[in-house]
């Protein structure tokens, strides 16, 4: 059986304490961890009769928790306070805290083998860490600290390739860099300026920005998500926008925008086949959408019960767990049964 991206429905919703900015799951269980706007990391066990949020034990963060990954037996969180904190997933206690960045940490990713963690922050550098020891291995410097209009930039997005060899980072003005994880060497760069809006009249500041990145499973495609031209700043009144780059040709191949369900594309994930990808985000409301990779054709879109900040697809690609404004929501795909060959009529 395989997931049908044209059929999706909300199965369950769970209230969270504060805004859930990021989440991580434990494979083979129904345990979900999320980082919150109240500075804490929580766990929800969906296997419980009455699931409820329970905070992990420790000193914890001093600001929003905006990045969360699972690396082996550890959970690692990143925050606007610049700290990275290691947690034991079994004891649920804090075991290590490291000063990671000088400004707000925006996101974290982990390599598929769980040995390396990458962080990005508004000090405009990416960093690669040893997941076991917490040792800093590489500092990635390329993103400019200011926008072309001389306002502070932000480094929102980071993604890791399925083979664990490559990292991509993307900033507010749409500058994207692909790095080699083992050496920290810069390999490629791309530009997605359509994800950046400069407002010289109403606000005199830059808004929007590239918010998400994802590699296809084979590494051929790189997707960048955010928001298109913004009209009403206060309501994120701009189309959800995705740019697709073909890394084999080193060029941009597709741009898709949707003005029906608007807002920021906060997360992107490719199906292992590479044929389609899913995005989620929102404005004051939320959305989940599916597109064909090469044609850009929308396969399906639906409202989410909240603005979605993060999501994860399970191992079988038949369900999606999302985190956002005041909720954790579980979506399920319709499963497509393989067509059996018809027997000849006697």
- pLDDT score for 1: 43
Contacts of 45 (CB under 8 A, 6+ apart): 29, 30, 31, 32, 51
Coil, strand or helix at 263: coil
115 within a domain of the structure (yes/no): yes
Alpha carbon 146 to its chain centroid, in Å, reads: 23
Q: Is residue 345 part of a domain?
A: no
pTM (two decimals): 0.93
Residue 320 maps to a domain: yes
In this prediction, residue 230 carries a pLDDT of 86
Q: What is the pLDDT of residue 205?
A: 66
208 φ, ψ (degrees, to nearest 5) = 80, -125
Whether the per-residue pLDDT at 203 is higher than 70: the answer is no
Residue 343 has pLDDT above 50, yes or no: no
Is 208 part of a structural domain of the chain?
Answer: yes
The three-state secondary structure class of 195 is helix
**Residue closest to 267 by CA, chosen among 215, 211, 227:** 211
Question: pLDDT tier at 193 (50, 70, 90 boundaries)?
Answer: very high
- What CATH number has the domain bearing residue 118? 2.130.10.10
Determine what percent of the chain is predicted with pLDDT higher than 70. Answer: 93
Mean pLDDT, residues 13-19: 93
Residue 338's pLDDT band, with cuts at 50, 70 and 90, is very low
For the chain, what's the residue count? 346
Cα of 336 vs its chain's centroid, Å: 27
- In the structure, what pLDDT confidence band is assigned to residue 2 with cuts at 50, 70 and 90? low
Provide the pLDDT for residue 116.
Answer: 98
pLDDT at 40: 97
Quick check: is 346 in a domain? no
Answer whether 293's CB lies under 8 Å from 276's CB: yes
Check pLDDT > 70 for residue 342: no
pLDDT mean over 232-255: 89
Q: Average pLDDT of the chain?
A: 91
Other C-beta atoms closer than 10 Å to the C-beta of 7 total 15
Alpha-carbon distances, residue 2 vs 7, 27, 139, 320 (angstroms): 12, 19, 40, 14
Q: How many domains does the chain have?
A: 1
Question: What pLDDT does 177 receive?
Answer: 98
Residue 346, pLDDT > 50, answer no
Q: Is residue 199 part of a domain?
A: yes
Q: What is the DSSP string of 91-127?
A: T-BEEEEEE--SS-EEEEEE-TTSSEEEEEETTSEEE
Instruction: Quote the pLDDT of residue 207.
Output: 78
pLDDT(234) > 70: no
Does residue 269 form part of some domain?
Answer: yes
Classify each residue of 209-226 as buried b or exposed e, where b means 16 or more C-beta atoms within 10 Å of its C-beta: bbbbbbbbeebebbbbbb
Residue 340 has pLDDT above 50, yes or no: no
Q: Is the pLDDT score of 187 beyond 70?
A: yes
Q: Which residue, chain included where needed, has tokens 């859930």?
A: 20
Give pLDDT, residue 339: 41
- Domain membership of residue 206 (yes or no) is yes
Using CA atoms, how far apart are residues 341 and 126, in angstroms rounded to an integer?
Answer: 52
Q: What is the pLDDT of residue 235?
A: 66
pLDDT for 323:
97
Average pLDDT over residues 32-56: 94
Q: What is the tens place of the pLDDT at every residue in 266-309?
A: 999 999 999 999 999 999 899 999 999 999 999 999 999 999 99
Domain range for 292: 2-336
């Amino acid at each position: 059986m395989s997931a049908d991206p044209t059929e999706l429905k909300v199965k369950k919703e769970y209230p969270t304490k504060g805004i859930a900015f990021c989440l991580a799951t434990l494979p083979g269980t129904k345990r979900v961890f999320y980082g919150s706007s109240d500075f804490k990391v929580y766990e929800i066990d969906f296997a419980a009769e009455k699931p409820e949020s329970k905070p992990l034990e420790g000193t914890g963060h001093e600001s929003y928790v905006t990045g969360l990954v699972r690396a082996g037996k550890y959970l690692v969180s990143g925050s606007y306070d610049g700290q990275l904190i290691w947690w034991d997933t079994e004891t649920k206690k804090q075991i290590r805290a490291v000063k990671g960045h000088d400004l707000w940490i925006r996101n974290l990713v982990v390599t598929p083998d769980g040995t390396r963690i990458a962080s990005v922050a508004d000090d405009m550098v990416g960093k690669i860490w040893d997941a076991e020891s917490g040792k800093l291995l590489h500092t990635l410097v390329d993103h400019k600290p200011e926008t072309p209009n001389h306002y502070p930039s932000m480094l929102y997005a980071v993604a890791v390739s399925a083979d664990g060899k490559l990292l991509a980072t993307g900033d507010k003005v749409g500058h994207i860099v692909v790095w080699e994880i083992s050496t920290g060497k810069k390999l490629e760069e791309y530009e997605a300026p359509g994800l950046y809006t400069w407002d010289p009249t109403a606000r005199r500041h830059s808004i929007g920005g590239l918010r998400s990145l994802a590699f296809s499973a084979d590494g051929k495609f790189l997707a960048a998500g955010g928001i298109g031209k913004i009209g009403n700043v206060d309501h994120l009144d701009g189309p959800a926008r995705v740019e697709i780059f073909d890394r084999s040709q080193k060029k941009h191949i597709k741009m898709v925008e949707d003005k029906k369900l608007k807002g920021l594309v906060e997360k992107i994930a490719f199906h292992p086949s590479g044929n389609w990808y899913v995005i989620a985000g929102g404005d004051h409301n939320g959305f989940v959408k599916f597109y064909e990779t090469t044609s850009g054709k929308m396969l399906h879109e639906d409202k989410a019960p909240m603005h979605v900040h993060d999501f994860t697809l399970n191992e079988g690609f038949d369900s999606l767990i999302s985190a956002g404004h005041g909720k954790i929501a579980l979506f399920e795909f319709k499963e497509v049964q393989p067509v059996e060959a018809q027997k000849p009529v006697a």
